[in-house]
Amino acid sequence: MIMKNNDLQLNKSMKLTTLITILALSAANAFGQQYTVSGYVKDQATGEVLVGATVYDAALQKGATTNGYGFYSLSLPAGSHTVKCSFVGYQTVEFSANLNGNVSHNFGLTEETVSLDAVTITAEGRDMALRTNQFCEERLTMRSIRQMPSMFGEADVVKVVQLQSGVKTLGDGSSGMFVRGGGNDQNLILIDEAPIYNPSHLFGLVSIFNPDAVNHVELFKSNMPAQYGGRVSSVIDCKMKEGNPNKFDFAVGISPLSSTLTASGPVLRERASFLVSARKSLIDLFCNAGDVFSLMPAFYDVNAKLNFQINSRNRLFLSFYNGKDRIESSDGFFNRWGNTSGTLRWNVNIGSRLFVNTSVIVSDYTNYMEFNENKHKYRWETGITDVNLKTDLAFYISPENTVKAGLGTTHHHFVPGQTADSLQSIPQINAFEHFAYLLHDFTPVEWLGVNYGVRLSVFQNCGEATWYEYNSEHQVVGTEKSSSGVYKTHTSIEPRVNVNFKLAADRSLKLGYARNAQYMQVLQNSTLSYSSLETWFPANANIKPVLVDVVSAGWFQNLGSQYSLSAELYYKWYTNQIDYVDHARLLNNPYIEGEVRTGTARAYGLELNARKTQGRLTGGISYTYSRSLRTIDGINDGREYSSLYDIPHDLKINANYRLTANWSASAVWIYTSGRPTTLPVGFYQTENSYSDLVVPIYSERNSSRFPAYHRLDLSVGYEPEKQGRVVWSANFGLYNVYGRKNPLGYRFDTDHGQVRVMQTTLFRLLPNFAVKARF
């Protein structure tokens, strides 16, 4: 009966979508005969699509932007028009059309020759925040990402995302991201639509995003549009390159941590192309565990993609990602984790205004650990496997009126924790997650834009399962079993709305509200990006989904032709926030749900940004004041306490200076408040006939703080003109220039009754480089 009700809800959503589409189309036709220019915008040299490119008629002041697949649709009145296409860093091109019917036209843009007085380096152009109705969106191109100093000389998507206002991290090398008061597991990370459950290589020093395989990245903070769901803090949507359909390209790169090999080219000229890019760590090739490092890390990853243009309206894509990490020690500790994903995607534009994307997605994440203790060998394995089918459609009624809708379903298979002893294992869980959404983006009058939508999500535990019942004291009082069918259902309606008041050509005020639901969370006792004790656990009979309501307001303004300012406020309410009791046992514990407590949380903040977007010197300054607080029965005596990522003050300064047409210099300085932790406030010594034991006395939950974190990074990059058969580029840098000893953690030891505090620091001054050859 539950399935029938959900089907009825989905059918109602689709009927509503059809009705709105018909009404909107009728309204559009009522204003006179219109025809549409549509097609794709690509880089002329590489064949890669350009996302966020602008196609416009300057005379009518009407324009459209390309979607996540490079497709645009621009409706104009009948008659002669000059349509222009522009994108940051590329030469603007024109197309003359005499519209007496719909026209299909693809644009190929050529990169601009560097002019030192007119260099433009921004996420996607400084006007995006003013003209789009969507709130809290950043578009990052590889051009802008490569301008930032990196830890090991190689551009890193995650490190650049961490530099955005409202995004926190926990120290040196971490790939963890805590967005607007949310946890690391509350970020939806996608590679070609496939979810990635752990974005870290080498303890978090390197992210899984290979810069040679990435086309562009979109970041949404809290106010995600209705097509995204399943997480409550942010979306990081990464699209891979498609490969060069015109000629073969090869690239080889090396840095202190890894080497990279990339190849792309045509399968059928101008009809089909491929891309393959592989990375491999170097440390493990020259060292063994115990020689230099007590823990020896190693990793590899592979990105691959095939792109087929069946005809002018149909395109087929096949994407693949596989990445694995391994850490081992000489005393028997071994940990292996990794992500594997595959996406089969079919794009079709029906007519000139309707764009449909259908995807079949498979994603698998596993984490395996083994270690020796008291002459016994233990192992622990966790993971999650997803199979997802979804369809999204976008109907471009006019430049000011777009309707989007979609639906899909995902089957999740959870392995919360398996050991050699079945009595110590956590039962496996199967679940379905269904969704349907409807979104409408329109500008009814010149000064007002509205983006609103609703998402219906349903999560169903199903299949053969065993779970435990707990009393009010969180003790096991019974066991329940299911042999088949659905045994628990959670349903959420998630409305979202953004309003853009375009007060003038150079300023706007945006207001937004969103509700987000998340049906799976990570149970772990560490917020660092790397943790071997990591279990993805779904909502079920004992754990409810996290619900978050967020209200936001933002002021955006351009100053002259080079500068932009913004100020954003947000407040978030969390329902069903989970946390662990003190001294929770996570490993080999089938009753792990009894260690979990549920309550509420709140997060709020102010984000201030100033950017210089043109000229030889470009960059920005951002300051964030924010708080992230929890109130959970059974923890901290029920009193409100700081989350582990409650970092009030956050200041980030980045700058890039174009020295010559080929050389540039970059700098980043970061300052943040110390993150919360629970440290001993005293010790007492026990005395007995066998030994003297020093026992710590702990304070309230997360009532202590680390010292303030700050560091300066510098880099110099060389990018020659694209001439000759082989083109060399290089990047040289210094990480943590003034050698700040930022603590990663503390350890406590005793020596003859005296307590010693030892600080763990990951890096001080660290030189780095990366060299790449393209041919």
pLDDT bin (cut points 50, 70, 90) of residue 5 is: very low
In order, the DSSP letters of 357-381 are: EEEEEEEEEEEEEEEEETTEEEEEE
Position 688 scores a pLDDT of: 56
Asked if residue 627 lies in contact with residue 616, where contact means CB atoms within 8 angstroms, the answer is no
Over residues 716-745, the pLDDT tens digits come to 988 887 667 788 888 898 989 999 998 887
pLDDT of 122 strictly over 50: no
Q: Are residues 309 and 206 in the same domain?
A: no
pLDDT of residue 1: 38
Q: 610 with 670, same domain?
A: yes
CATH number where 50 lies: 2.60.40.1120
21 domain-assigned: no
Q: Is residue 22 part of a domain?
A: no
Q: Based on the domain organization, do 268 and 391 belong to the same domain?
A: yes
Indicate if 632 and 645 belong to the same structural domain.
yes
* Together in a domain, 214 and 304: no
The Cα–Cα gap between 36 and 353 comes to 7
Asked whether residue 363 is domain-assigned, the answer is: yes
Share of the chain above pLDDT 90, in %: 44
- Which residue, chain included where needed, has tokens 């964030």? 624
**Structure pTM?**
0.90
What pLDDT was estimated at residue 410? 97
pLDDT digits (tens, 9 = 90+) for 382-411: 999 999 999 999 999 988 899 999 999 999
**Tally of domains within the chain:** 3
Shared domain for 178 and 257, answered yes or no, is no
Mean pLDDT of 749-753: 64
Same-domain pairing of 725 and 613: yes
Question: Which carries the bigger pLDDT value, residue 492 or residue 171?
Answer: 492
Q: Which of 236, 257, 287 is the last residue of a domain?
A: 236
- Of the pLDDT bands very low, low, confident and very high (cuts 50, 70, 90), residue 123 is very low
The answer to whether residues 279 and 304 touch, using CB atoms and an 8 Å cutoff, is no
At residue 532, the pLDDT reads 53
Q: Is residue 463 part of a domain?
A: yes
The mean pLDDT value for 573-598 works out to 84
Is pLDDT of 647 > 90?
yes
- Tell me how far apart the alpha carbons of residues 439 and 497 are, in angstroms, rounded to a whole number: 9
pLDDT tens readout for residues 257-285 = 889 999 999 998 778 999 999 999 988 88
**What's residue 692's pLDDT?**
59
Residue-wise pLDDT for 651-704, tens only, equals: 999 999 999 888 999 999 999 999 998 877 666 666 654 455 666 777 788 888
- Quote the tokens at residue 78: 């009948």
Contact 111, 86 (CB under 8 A): no
Residues 55 and 165 in one domain: no
Question: In this predicted structure, what is the pLDDT of residue 289?
Answer: 72
Q: What is the bridge-based pairing of β-strands 743-751 and 376-398?
A: unpaired
Residue 23 lies in a domain: no
Q: Which of 187, 218, 236 is the last residue of a domain?
A: 236
Which of 236, 262, 281 is the endpoint of a domain? 236
pLDDT in tens, 228-240: 999 999 999 999 9
Same domain, 439 and 381: yes
Residue 96 in domain: yes
User: In terms of DSSP bridges, do strands 103-104 and 34-43 run parallel, antiparallel, or are they unpaired?
Assistant: parallel
Q: What is the mean pLDDT of residues 582-610?
A: 87
Same domain, 288 and 423: yes
pLDDT at 20 over 80: no
The contacts of residue 135 (CB under 8 Å, 6+ apart) are 223, 451, 498, 510, 512, 552, 554
Any bridge partners for residue 334, and if so which?
328, 370
- 537 within 8 A of 460, measured Cβ to Cβ: no
What is residue 441's predicted lDDT score, i.e. its pLDDT? 94
Higher local confidence (pLDDT), 708 or 532: 708
- Per the prediction, the chain carries an average pLDDT of 85
SS percent in the chain: helix, strand, coil, step 5: 10, 60, 35
Half-sphere CA count of 328, side-chain side, radius 13 A: 12
Out of 432-436, 501-505, 550-554, least confident range? 501-505
Residue 141: give the domain boundaries: 123-236
302-321 tens-digit pLDDT: 999 999 999 989 999 999 99
Token code pair at residue 208: 């899984």
The pLDDT tens digits for 145-157 are: 877 776 666 788 8
- Evaluate whether residue 18 is within a structural domain: no
Same domain, 54 and 142: no
CATH number of domain containing 257? 2.40.170.20
Q: Quote the percentage of the chain above a pLDDT of 70.
A: 88
pLDDT bracket for residue 30 (50, 70, 90): very low
Whether the predicted pLDDT of 505 surpasses 70: yes
SS (H, E, C) 38-76: EEEEEECCCCCECCCCEEEECCCCEEEECCCCCEEEEEE
Whether 20 maps to a domain, the answer reads: no
* Same domain membership, residue 357 and residue 271: yes
CB-CB neighbours of 77 under 10 Å: 14
> DSSP string of 157-179?
HHHHHHTSTTEE--STT----EE
The answer to whether 412 and 33 are in contact (CB under 8 A) is no
Q: Is the pLDDT of residue 432 over 90?
A: yes
